[in-house]
Amino acid sequence: MDISYYLYLSAALFVIGAVGVVIRRNAIVIFMCIELMLNASNLAFVTFARIHGNLEGQMVAFFTMVVAACEVVVGLAIIVMIYRSRRSASVDDASLLRR
Amino acid sequence: MSLITVLGLLPLLGVLALVFLKKDDALGVKRLAFATSIIVALLGIWIATKFDRAESEFQFVEVREWIPTFGINYSVGIDGISLLLILLSVILVPIVILAGWNESEGGRWSTKTFYMLILILETMMIGVFAATDVFLFYVFFEAMLIPVYFLIGGYGSGERIQAAVKFLLYSLFGGLLMLASIIGLYVIAGNQIGRTFDISSLATLQIDSLTENFLFLGFFIAFAIKAPLWPLHTWLPDAAKSATPGTSVLLLGVLDKVGTFGMMRYCLELFPNASKTFTPMIITLALISIIYGAFLAIGQKDINRLIAFTSISHFGFITMGIFAMTTQGHTGAVLYMVNHGFSTAALFLVAGWMIHRRGSSTISEFGGLQRVTPVMAWSFFIAGLSGLALPGLSSFVSEFLVLVGTFTRYPVAAIIGTLGIILAALYILIPVQKALHGPTTAGNENLKDLNLREKISIAPVIVAIVALGFYPKPALDVINPVSERVITKAGFSDPAPTLGK
Amino acid sequence: MLESETLVVLIALPLFSSGFLLLAGRKADKWGHLFATAIAGSTFLLAMIEMFAMVGREEANRALYQKVFTWISVGSFNVDAALLLDQLSICFVLLITGVGTLIHIYSISYMSHDPDRRRFFAYLNLFIAAMLLLVLGDSYLNLYVGWEGVGLASYLLIGFWNKKPEYATAAKKAFVVNRIGDLGLSIAIMVAFAVFGTVTFKGIEEQANSASQGAMVAIGFALLLAAVGKSAQFPLQSWLGDAMAGPTPVSALIHAATMVTAGVYLIVRSNFVFDNAPIAQFAVVIVGAITLLFGAIIGMAKDDIKKALAASTMSQIGYMILAAGLGPIGYAFAIMHLLTHGFFKAGMFLGAGSVMHGMSDEVNMRRYGGLARYMPITTITFGFGYLAIIGVPPFAGFYSKDKIIEAAFNLGGAKGIVFGSITLLGAVITAFYMTRLFMMTFLGKKRWSEGQRPHESPFLIWAPMVILSLGSIGSGFLLYSGKRLEYWLKPVVDKGGHKHEEFISHATVTTMALTAVLIGVAIAIAKYRKDIPIEAPEKVSIFTRAARKDLMQDQINETLFMRPGLAITSTLVKTDEKVIDGLVRGVAQVSLGSAKGLRRIQSGYIRNYALLILIGAAALIAAIWVVTL
């Protein structure tokens, strides 16, 4: 099987994630789309590691996972807090920085 | 430590002492600030007596490493030109403090802040004239804007904030161009002689002519904004109208001189070839400034704006003298800077008192002041006569030197420049007639004449105006060696008389 | 040349006295005028001492020189504050200090009711100092200092009663018009320095023969412009009439006897320039000729006694300028006429002041008439001056004017006839208007109103007039006999000892001149024997109307210079506000506008930001892709 298919899949996932971030309003969904993009890039890293035959790509993938995990922790906490105070998880309602 | 460094640090010491005074102790603040400035002035005069007149190179030199990575040094030193301008600054500051004893009231911040700003400004002024490292000069050049910005915006009158912002933006724009040129110079120096900002090392660089022209313009535009040259002048009348009299004196009397000083020290020494290339253009601009400023001054209704426009005309003369590239023109220009400092100081201070008493700065609101307030009227008149370059008063010597120096190289320009002396008679005598002569305008009958404090503060300025007119030799002796050095370095020599013996 | 140590005292005395009186304030009011008069008197004494010492020395050693200090020294431009007292300047020094002292004495009484009398005397002293510097300076630049100094004194004195706005305007006008002349002087100095490398009279004179014609003509014309401005010659004469706003002693001293003749001094002093620049020299003659007629014509129509005298001054200086333009044959006569004119014109001005004093400051001659009975001394002294100016022998003007007419004819050829005739015509008109003035004032029926009580002036006023009238009688003969002044001035103005041809005999000239005077006087008597209307008649020829308005000079200046100047000023003021500052404000507006536009992108919605990041990233990748392609 041609290894470049992994890359196509990664690109597709990334685009899905990106579109999700741009068009959805629910914070949780946006959050999940970001995760999707992170994982898409992880897939690309691993694929490149395979192509080049070294371990750097895999190492970065692990690194990304750790960062993603941290982000989940912080991000979810923020979303929950926002939901508690505003009874809504829509990000448009939280455009507070503009005013 | 060089005496110049001490001189520069003294006002800062005064600021430090001011910090410990209470905010509402206005009198104490004023006394302390005045005392500090007097000490600085005395030290300045003492330095002048120690100065070696025959020497054309820098004296009282001090060099310390500042940011070694970039080859930036704290290096100061003075030649004749810087000495005179520093003297002018340190003499004007105590006069300004004494003359405008109450002008800090009604400001946005406290009296204490006002005097701290003035003293900080004094340090900056000394620094900018004494710096011999281009980067250090640049730092002072830009840092000077800060106290002036707050002095105009916080303590001025009328549309003071707008005027302050206009001043700041104009200056920053010029400063930015200069910074680009400085970086360019630094890069070229890095390729040729190593990382340095030292002015005498930079003067030895070999720069191709296109680059040199651009670098020159960067410096020149910054200086042309400072010493307002047409058409970059429109910030000055607004600033002069809104600032307190004292601030106007420091702004026009000293700060703007940084522009012409910079043209001399930096444009000519660093870029002699580009200076030659641009000379025709600059002389033209200077001529336009002379005539244009004079006409505009004639057409002004506000006394402060009028003085500002006369200054634009005078700066035209100074610039013309600098770029005439003759010793007479050059020496005349330097002397003009000093003389203009004193005569403008007198005009602004007296105008300030008049405005304060009358509550209006419109010239037609005054009238017949000569009979009501003779001392004030006479002070204004003498300052005005100096402004129109009456022989026997200081401006005449410098203006004539500039004209003679220009004539030997550019006769047509000099002849057009002399038209300025007719217009000068008009722009001085019209306000003199309106404000001092004629019947006393209603509401002016009970104006008070100058009090003792005001008399004491204006007296030294008038003495300087008269003394430098009759006996300019001490000043000329200090300037001559330097202007000869600059002219020679720029590759010029005085045109010989057609029939010289 | 002998060195002197004391010349500077002549100038320093009145200068310090002036400064002292101005600074002393009201405390000096009681004795300030006496102090100033004493100072003026002592300068006159000093001048007399110098004069006798000079006469006692051999001709080669007569000139005195004093270097006071180095004034300006830059590169090759070296100017000392130095004084030169030679045969030419001593004439002026005596005139200035002599007439000056008399006018000080006169003013003590004339100004006694003025609360600012001390200030007036301080200005007078300042004038004496500046005028002495003008004639004593050894270089053009020193002369320039005095030149502007007298301008300042004149400004202060014309505007002495500046409470009246017209008087303040007259003062300003005098200063500004003078500055146009000063422009000429500065240009002359600049050219002289560029060509000769020096600005001293001596230095230039030594090299004058080797200079190019172009340079000499340029200097000559520039100096002529200076002289024209200071001496109220055509076309810069308009200020002199208005200058009569000053107190009458000022008109006598500054605007008749001394300052206005500075232009003549300048031209005579610069003889080495003009003798080497024939074109410029000829221009001098033309200017003198035009002005002598111009002033005389205005003089015929004026009803204001001071303005009529001012017009006459203008005309008489025209004579002097004309003579100075004739070259070596004319210099001495220019100076001779200047000296005699100094006496008789100052005397007549003081007489006019005395009349005004007795007539409660009335100046309109139509309201005078028959004053001879009430003011005998004034009438007699004025009469001597009158006889002198029209040139009746043996009064002073006869000798000096006669010589000028003769010299003009001796130009030879068509030129000689033209300029000779002009001077003769001038003599006719002078005789006419002066007779008219004298008759309207002192003779005929009284035309003043009931309230007037004409009376003779006090001693302090008439004494100076008597002394000056003695000068109007005797000075001409004294200077003329034995060619005394000609020989005296020869070392300064006629070093080459020029020979000149005589085209016309002396006797012919005298006859013609006397006939001219007779004609002028006869016409005037015929015309003014009749009753003179109190109001100036309205139905007069265009000619008279024009002359009453100074031959439209003010109107011409207004349309040619003032109006366009004002237009330029207001246009520039608008341009500055609208265009130049507008451009600056435009830049500010553009940046504000674009900031407003860009602000819309900051919507606060996360997806917008995310989209922008995405687009940015895509653009970056695209850019890299394009570059690496």
Which residues have CB under 8 Å from C108's CB, separation 6+? C33, C34, C37, C460
Does A99 score more than 60 pLDDT?
A: no
- Residue B320 near residue B283, CB atoms below 8 Å: yes
In a domain, C128, yes or no: yes
Average pLDDT over residues B362-387: 87
How sure is the predictor about C222, in pLDDT bands with cuts at 50, 70 and 90?
very high
Give residue C134's pLDDT. Answer: 93
Separation of alpha carbons C313 and C316, rounded Å = 5
Give residue B501's pLDDT. Answer: 44
Give residue C44's pLDDT. Answer: 93
In chain C, DSSP finds a helix count (H) and a strand count (E) of: 26, 3
In a domain, B265, yes or no: no
A1 contact C CB<8A = no
Residues C380 and C517 in one domain: yes
Give residue C41's pLDDT. Answer: 92
B480 contact C CB<8A = yes
Chain B residues 270-329 within an 8 A CB cutoff of chain C? 292, 295-296, 298-300, 326-328
Give residue B54's pLDDT. Answer: 80
Higher-confidence residue of B107 and C121: namely: C121
Average pLDDT over residues C323-349: 89
- C15: nearest CA in chain B? B392
Q: Do A98 and C602 touch (CB under 8 A)?
A: yes
Domain count, chain C: 2
Interface test with C, best of A16, A19, A21 (most C CBs within 10 A): A21
How sure is the predictor about C497, in pLDDT bands with cuts at 50, 70 and 90?
low
The distance in angstroms from the start CA to the end CA of chain C is 92
Give residue A25's pLDDT. Answer: 84
- Residue B286 near residue B332, CB atoms below 8 Å: no
Average pLDDT over residues B431-436: 87
| Residues of chain B neighbouring C194 (CB-CB closer than 8 A) | 407-408, 411, 495, 497-498
Q: How far is CA A78 from CA A20, A75, A87, B73, C1, in A?
A: 19, 5, 13, 51, 104
Per-residue pLDDT reduced to its tens digit, C36-47? 999 999 999 999
Does B170 score more than 50 pLDDT?
A: yes
Per-residue pLDDT reduced to its tens digit, B114-140? 899 999 999 999 999 999 989 999 999
Residue B497 is classified by DSSP as P
Residues C65 and C20 in one domain: yes
Buried b (16+ CB within 10 A) or exposed e, B338-351: bbbbbbbbbbbbbb
Number of cross-chain residue pairs from A and C with Cβ atoms under 8 Å apart = 28
- Paired tokens of C605: 């919605």
Per-residue pLDDT reduced to its tens digit, C377-393? 888 899 999 999 988 88
Separation of alpha carbons A8 and A11, rounded Å = 5
**Residue with token string 């009759």:** B470
Nearest by Cα to C432 from C503, C541, C518: C518
C327: closest CA of chain B, how far (Å): 24
Give residue B59's pLDDT. Answer: 86
Give me the domain span that covers residue B356: 271-493
Separation of alpha carbons B66 and A17, rounded Å = 52
- Residues in a beta bridge with B78: B59
Which residues have CB under 8 Å from B307's CB, separation 6+? B240, B248, B252, B344, B347, B348, B351
Separation of alpha carbons C175 and C177, rounded Å = 6
Task: Please spell the DSSP secondary structure of B404-468, one letter per residue.
Answer: HHHHHH-HHHHHHHHHHHHHHHHHHHHHHHHHHSSSPPTT-TT-----HHHHHHHHHHHHHHHHH
- Residue B308 near residue B292, CB atoms below 8 Å: no
Q: Name the percent of chain B lying above pLDDT 70.
A: 100
Task: Please spell the DSSP secondary structure of C565-612, one letter per residue.
Answer: HHHHHHHHHHHIIIIIHHHHHHHHHHHHHHHHHHHTT--S-HHHHHHH
Nearest by Cα to C395 from C386, C404, C407: C386
At position B111, the amino acid (one-letter code) is T
C509 Cα distance to chain centroid: 30
Give me the domain span that covers residue C510: 2-142+271-531
Q: Residue B73 belongs to what H/E stretch?
A: strand B72-78
In a domain, B255, yes or no: no
SS (H, E, C) B418-435: HHHHHHHHHHHHHHHHHH
Residues C493 and C574 in one domain: no
Separation of alpha carbons B136 and B144, rounded Å = 12
Look at B18-22, B427-431, C499-503 and tell me which has the smallest mean pLDDT: C499-503
3-class SS shares of chain A: helix, strand, coil, % to 5: 85, 0, 15
Look at B274-288, B402-416, B479-493 and tell me which has the smallest mean pLDDT: B479-493
| Residues of chain C neighbouring A21 (CB-CB closer than 8 A) | 606-607, 610
In a domain, C252, yes or no: no
Domain boundaries along the sequence of chain A: 4-90
Dihedrals φ, ψ of C45, to 5°? -60, -45
Tell me whether strands C2-3 and C64-74 are parallel, antiparallel or unpaired.
parallel
Does B334 score more than 80 pLDDT?
A: yes
Q: Do B295 and C572 touch (CB under 8 A)?
A: yes
How sure is the predictor about A98, in pLDDT bands with cuts at 50, 70 and 90?
low
- Residue C160 near residue C133, CB atoms below 8 Å: no
Per-residue pLDDT reduced to its tens digit, C252-280? 888 888 889 999 999 999 999 998 888 99
- Residue C126 near residue C15, CB atoms below 8 Å: yes
Give residue C498's pLDDT. Answer: 67
Residues C485 and C601 in one domain: no
Look at C124-133, C162-171, C318-327, C559-568 and tell me which has the smallest mean pLDDT: C559-568
In a domain, B360, yes or no: yes
Average pLDDT over residues C321-342: 89
Task: Please spell the DSSP secondary structure of B335-404, one letter per residue.
Answer: HHHHHHHHHHHHHHHHHHHHHHHHT--BGGG---HHHH-HHHHHHHHHHHHHHTT-TTSHHHHHHHHHHH
Does B320 score more than 70 pLDDT?
A: yes
Which residues have CB under 8 Å from B102's CB, separation 6+? none
Q: Hey, CA dihedral for B273, B277, B279, B282, is it positive or negative?
A: negative
Number of Cβ within a 10 Å radius of residue C498: 10
Domain count, chain B: 1
**Residue with token string 């946005």:** B108
Per-residue pLDDT reduced to its tens digit, C180-216? 889 999 999 999 998 888 899 988 888 888 888 888 9
In a domain, B303, yes or no: yes
Residues C609 and C513 in one domain: no
Average pLDDT over residues C428-450: 86
Give residue C499's pLDDT. Answer: 67
Residues C526 and C578 in one domain: no
B309: closest CA of chain C, how far (Å): 11
- Residue B277 near residue B213, CB atoms below 8 Å: yes
- Paired tokens of C612: 């922008």
B216 Cα distance to chain centroid: 21
- A30: nearest CA in chain C? C607
Dihedrals φ, ψ of B64, to 5°? -135, 145
In a domain, B342, yes or no: yes
**CATH 1.10.287.3510 applies to domain A4-90:** yes
Interface test with C, best of A22, A23, A82, A99 (most C CBs within 10 A): A22
In a domain, C288, yes or no: yes
Q: Do C194 and B292 touch (CB under 8 A)?
A: no
- Residue B376 near residue B355, CB atoms below 8 Å: no
Mean pLDDT, chain C, whole residue set: 87
The minimal CB distance from C194 to the residues B421, B473, B498 is found for B498
Residues C513 and C592 in one domain: no
In a domain, B372, yes or no: yes
Residues C497 and C572 in one domain: no
In a domain, C255, yes or no: no
Average pLDDT over residues B220-238: 89
Residues C462 and C565 in one domain: no
Burial of C216 (0-12, 13-18, 19+ CB in 10 A): buried
Buried b (16+ CB within 10 A) or exposed e, B364-403: ebbbbbbbbbbebbbbbbbbbbbbbbbbbbbbbbbbbbbb
Number of Cβ within a 10 Å radius of residue B458: 26
- Paired tokens of C78: 């070296």
Does C318 score more than 80 pLDDT?
A: yes
